Amino acid sequence: MEEGDEMLQCRDCNAEFAFTVGEQQFFKEKGFDNKPTRCGDCKVSLPLLSPLALGARWRCLSCRAPQCYH
């Protein structure tokens, strides 16, 4: 079976995006089992929506002190 571009739907914005043959080959070479779930625009904006980008701070998990960030 010959490979071709595959159209997927973004899980965030529901836009249709192409999973190109080159991307498919890259995923196969890297051993990735899953197809991408986000379009390029949503992939780029994802870090901007992270809790750290919104001003949240990580808490120290060993001592649980909110002011400790080691």
Structure confidence by residue, pLDDT tens digits, 8-18: 999 989 999 99
Task: Spell out the alpha helix ranges (H) of the chain.
Answer: 21-30, 40-45
The terminus-to-terminus CA distance of the chain in angstroms comes to 52
**Domain ranges for the chain:** 1-70
User: Mean pLDDT over residues 23-49, rounded?
Assistant: 89
User: How many CB atoms sit inside 10 A of residue 14's CB?
Assistant: 9
Structure pTM? 0.62
Instruction: Identify whether the C-beta of residue 51 lies closer than 8 Å to the C-beta of residue 60.
Output: no
Backbone angles phi, psi at 19, to 5 degrees: -100, 95
Share of the chain above pLDDT 70, in %: 61
